[in-house]
Chain A
Amino acid sequence: MKNPPLQYGSGFPTLLRKEVKRFYKVGFQTVAAPVLTAVLYLMIFGHVLEGREMYGRFTYTAFLIPGLVMMSLLQNAFANTSSSLIQSKVTGNLVFVLLAPLSHFEFYAAYILAAVFRGVVVGLGVFLITAWISPPALEYPLWILTFAFLGAAILGSLGLIAGIWADKYDQLAAFQNFLIMPATMLSGVFYSIHSLPPAWQMVSHFNPFFYMIDGFRYGFFGVSDISPWNSLAIILFFFVAVSAIALRMLQTGYKLRH
């Protein structure tokens, strides 16, 4: 069993590949199901509210598509990191990653990129099917990509924070159902905040998900509730903040190393 000396590289590519393969192996649950849910939203709300005109010139269905794409993308990016971590913690197999010579940066980057990948795959799935129902405009693709990647990275980071913090599935479900879900549903996916009473418009401005959805929608229509540059600045700040928290948790081994 004598072998030549080993050449060590980074464990990051393998951890990324494992995280991608994990959701790929249950693709019906992790990709197909959320795509179907989004399509059902479009069919129901699009049918009921089809007479409405948005931004003065777009059908409600066309308006809804970018919001649904982004909502699906965000929720699945969150689900990828959070479910992977809580499962690994509860079953105990996270120890195999913790035993490896991975830095907290490598750990973070692998989990977040996998979350971004799943979010984009689900978002693309929703987009392709809904675009077939109602072909959307694509005014500024670079804005679309920027907000998609940043939004997925933010939700991936939040999922990582939640997955590390939660000790059981119930706690994670509370984080998801009482924080992430309302924040995404009330972020302007289904409406323009200009249709809200002034007080609720103000409240919406405290919801970071609003800026992700609004900036993303700007890439499709060239129209948004607020300037895309303002949205970009705010979500960049949010990204830095949640990344810093997640990295600090990994660096100190919060709830991972005792």
Chain B
Amino acid sequence: MSAAISIKKISKNYGALQALDDVSLEIQQGEFFGLLGPNGAGKTTLISILAGLVTADQGHALIMGADVQSHFRDARRSLGVVPQELVFDPFFTVRETLQFQSGYFGIQNNDAWIDEIMANLDLTSKADSNMRSLSGGMKRRVLVAQALVHRPPVIILDEPTAGVDVELRQSLWQFISRLNQDGHTIVLTTHYLEEAEALCQRIAMLKQGKIVALDTTANLLNRYGSVKKDGEGKTDLEDVFVNIMSGNAL
């Protein structure tokens, strides 16, 4: 069985800035994986390379065994990406947006699945509303729905809960967790470390384009937990993150 995501020696420069430096990583099918790091660490660049939006200067990336460049059709059909930016097409309704997204992947007559996604994301009542009229939270739900219309086995969520209220965050994580239980591989980037700690089985931490930590969440907590503890003696992922990023734990 091929890995859900295989990243081999990926490097990427933007002029003098090295966004990614010889990054290698494998994420197995069915994992709930966290990709963490401060702003500018290279998370979005890495995701963009997997999505085919950015071309790596060196190295290869595969989604479900398909190279993102040479077998881009298979790779993209296997991948759903929830972008970080709250982008939408102002010409269309929610239903049209999802139907078009499905059609771009060559899937016609997908209304039953689109209805199911909308029901799970509480979008049904907004199905015929223009995208412009939706609140930020609702637009975020549509972004998630768009990433799921072609039923990809691998789903990448790039800070999906940024600026989202607590209720939506909880319902979103319930839905994503259910997808994970159904066998979907989930890759999550977030600045809400308590979410990553609660959801992710394994975590990679990026700093200045390099992976500085890669392990199960439990091992990261155990390994770096002695460095700093809160008042009750219980280490959380935020402590681990701060210590790794500051170099105290290395």
**Chain B interface, number of residues (Cβ within 8 angstroms):** 42
Residues of A within 8 A of B102 (CB): 14
Q: Which of B51, B101, B113, B178 has the most CB of A within 10 A?
A: B101
**Chain A interface, number of residues (Cβ within 8 angstroms):** 34
Write out, one digit per residue, whether chain A residues 87-109 have a CB within 8 A of any chain B CB (1) or not (0): 01001110111111111000000
Q: Decide: B108 and A9 in contact? CB cutoff 8 A.
A: yes
Does A52 make an interface contact (CB < 8 A)? no
Does A21 make an interface contact (CB < 8 A)? yes
Closest to B88 in A: A93
Q: Decide: A258 and B55 in contact? CB cutoff 8 A.
A: yes
Q: Decide: A92 and B104 in contact? CB cutoff 8 A.
A: no
Does A2 make an interface contact (CB < 8 A)? yes
Does A7 make an interface contact (CB < 8 A)? yes
B103 contact from A7, A17, A253, Cβ within 8 A: A17
Does B116 make an interface contact (CB < 8 A)? yes
Give Cα A253–Cα B106 distance, bound, in whole angstroms.
Answer: 21
Does A11 make an interface contact (CB < 8 A)? yes
Q: Decide: A14 and B76 in contact? CB cutoff 8 A.
A: no
Given contacts A93-B87, A258-B55, are A6 and B151 in contact (CB under 8 A)? yes
A42 vs chain B, min Cβ distance (A): 31
A258 vs chain B, min Cβ distance (A): 5
Q: Decide: B87 and A95 in contact? CB cutoff 8 A.
A: yes
Given contacts A1-B178, A10-B106, A11-B106, are A99 and B151 in contact (CB under 8 A)? no
Does A13 make an interface contact (CB < 8 A)? yes
Say which one of B77-85, B215-223, B226-234 lies at the interface with A: B77-85
- A residues sitting closer than 8 Å to B (CB atoms) are 1-3, 6-11, 13-15, 17-18, 21-22, 25-26, 88, 91-93, 95-103, 253, 257-258
The 10 closest A-B pairs by CB, nearest first: A14-B103, A100-B104, A92-B87, A101-B73, A9-B106, A11-B104, A101-B76, A8-B106, A93-B89, A93-B87
Could you write out 18 A-B pairs with CB less than 8 Å apart? Answer: A1-B179, A1-B182, A6-B151, A9-B108, A13-B103, A14-B99, A15-B104, A18-B100, A88-B89, A91-B89, A92-B87, A95-B83, A95-B87, A96-B101, A96-B146, A99-B52, A100-B101, A103-B73
